Amino acid sequence: MKREREDHVRDRQFPTDGRGLSLIAIAGLIAGVILISSLVKSGDNSLLCSIAKSRSQPINGFSNMETQLQALVHYATSKITPQQNFGEISVTYDVLKKRNPCNFLVFGLGYDSRMWEALNPQGKTLFLEEDPKWVDIVLKGAPNLRAHAVKYRTQLKEADALLNHFRTEPSCFPSNAYLRGNDQCKLALTGFPDEFYDTEWDLIMIDAPRGYFPEAPGRMAAIYSAAVMARNRNGSSVTHVFLHDVDRKVEKVFATRFLCKKYLVKSVGRLWHFEIPPADQTTSHDGPRFC
């Protein structure tokens, strides 16, 4: 049990140093969202009037503001530094401001989850986490988060073998790719909750599962599946995919293979931001080529 707790801390807690995120800055971001949301909903130029009128807003509007305020208090009083730094978080925040409300899928559940939930008011934010015990720990402190424990079929040490498998398995090819029930393709995420498959995701954040030791699930399947979901999207809108820890070899290799450098629009710190169009707007390939 002690080893498990140490693993949680090592993987999810980061020191407050020059590279770390300023918790005051996070609180400021959330406070800004509350301010903007209040003004937009009220149509009034006065924040005081906006707050006063919030009592007459629909229940869901009050619930969203309550979530934002809880997150604001949490980060203003926390001594724990989230994994991404301020510059990296700002990349996703800038997109959330433009696309809100939106459907936001986050691979990973941790100390930054309240922030992502608060930065997407009126939207749907879903967290996927590999460790069911960690899900229980986080949800005890933030029961309003929408989170699921999921199982991955891969291990980091299989990364090279999975690339070889992709090249020879037709069900992995972009022209045939699908996720739900695709047991033939080892990179396809299967057995996940229905809302994972049934929702069209506007933003996808890949900051999990763990990928720092050989037996860890690695992010190979998450990266591949994000590419498939983006390509299979209905309509003309792009899917924004944010990949963290691109300083690591596996993340970089799989991102280049499946998310495609031509769709990379921004790089800040250890975060890459891709804008991936639906497949009907790209040149299709019959073979194993996404890019």
Q: Where are the alpha helices (DSSP H) in the chain?
A: 2-12, 23-42, 47-53, 59-76, 86-99, 113-118, 132-141, 159-168, 194-198, 220-231, 249-254
- How open is the CA angle 214-240-226, to the nearest 5 degrees? 40
Type of residue at 252: K
Type of residue at 18: G
144's tokens: 């309003």
Whether 128 contacts 196, CB under 8 Å: yes
Q: pLDDT of the chain along its 291 residues, tens only? A: 433 433 544 444 434 444 444 554 555 555 555 444 544 444 444 333 333 333 334 434 445 665 555 545 554 455 666 679 999 999 999 999 999 999 999 999 988 999 999 999 999 999 999 999 999 999 998 999 999 999 999 999 999 999 999 999 999 999 999 999 999 999 999 999 999 999 999 999 999 999 999 999 999 999 999 999 999 999 889 999 999 999 999 999 999 999 999 999 999 999 999 999 999 866 555 678 999
Q: What's the pLDDT tens digit per position in 207-256?
A: 999 999 999 999 999 999 999 999 999 988 999 999 999 999 999 999 99
Whether 226 contacts 259, CB under 8 Å: yes
138 burial type by CB count under 10 A (0-12 exposed, 13-18 middle, 19+ buried): buried
β-strand partners of 14: 81
Q: How far is CA 41 from CA 30, 47, 124, 125, 246, in A?
A: 16, 11, 18, 20, 38
β-strand partners of 273: 242, 266
β-strand partners of 272: 243, 267
The four Cα atoms 188, 189, 193, 196 give a dihedral, to 10 degrees, of -70
Q: What's the pLDDT tens digit per position in 114-136?
A: 999 999 999 999 999 999 999 99
Q: How far is CA 163 from CA 29, 219, 233, in A?
A: 39, 13, 24
pTM of the model: 0.80
With H, G, I as helix, E, B as strand and everything else as coil, classify residue 132.
Answer: helix
Buried b / exposed e along 23-37 (16+ C-beta atoms within 10 A): beebbebbbebbeeb
* Strands lying side by side in the sheet with 103-107: 147-149, 124-129, 103-107, 203-206, 239-244, 271-276, 264-268
